[in-house]
């Protein structure tokens, strides 16, 4: 009897394809970039942004924040608005949604059972 000599392929993920995380910039880095941009001559800004792998809208936002509130505004690191709900409130909402979904499923199943119980004429 011949043995099955088929080799099972093993897929190894490429390290190049791993999910990248969001870049976080320190306040010192932001200040140094703003200073370097101020020192740029005409036409050097694009080169600086490409070298640092930054977008012009990031630079514009950093400049606007620095102009509005100084160094303190450059220190924020968490993206998006702050959550107004506590973790307990979020958990309660999640449980209430699951409870409502299960009640709906129960109602559908009960109605199916009631249809099966109806006597035929």
Residue 51 or residue 16, greater confidence: 51
| pLDDT confidence band for 18 (50 / 70 / 90) | confident
Q: Calculate the dihedral angle through the C-alpha atoms of 6, 8, 14, 20, rounding to the nearest 10 degrees.
A: 160
pLDDT tens-place string over residues 59-113 = 999 999 889 888 888 887 566 777 888 999 999 999 999 999 999 999 999 998 8
The answer, yes or no, to whether residue 5 has pLDDT greater than 70, is no
pLDDT tens-place string over residues 31-62 = 999 999 988 888 889 999 999 999 999 999 99
The pLDDT, as a whole number, for residue 20 is: 73
Radius of gyration of the chain (CA): 29
Average pLDDT over residues 8-33: 80
| pLDDT confidence band for 1 (50 / 70 / 90) | low
Are 73 and 66 in contact by the 8 Å Cβ rule? The answer is yes
CA distance 60 to 12: 41
The pLDDT, as a whole number, for residue 116 is: 85
């Amino acid at each position: 009897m011949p043995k099955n000599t088929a080799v099972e392929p093993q897929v190894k993920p490429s390290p190049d394809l791993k999910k990248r995380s969001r870049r976080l910039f320190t306040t010192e880095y932001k200040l140094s970039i703003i200073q370097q941009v101020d020192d740029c001559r005409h036409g050097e800004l694009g080169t600086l942004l490409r070298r640092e792998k930054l977008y012009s809208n990031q630079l514009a936002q950093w400049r606007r924040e620095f102009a509005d509130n100084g160094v303190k505004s450059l220190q924020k690191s968490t993206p998006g608005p702050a959550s107004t709900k506590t973790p307990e409130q979020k958990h309660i909402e999640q449980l209430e949604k699951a409870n409502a979904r299960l009640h709906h499923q129960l109602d559908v199943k009960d109605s199916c059972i009631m249809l099966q119980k109806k006597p035929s004429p």
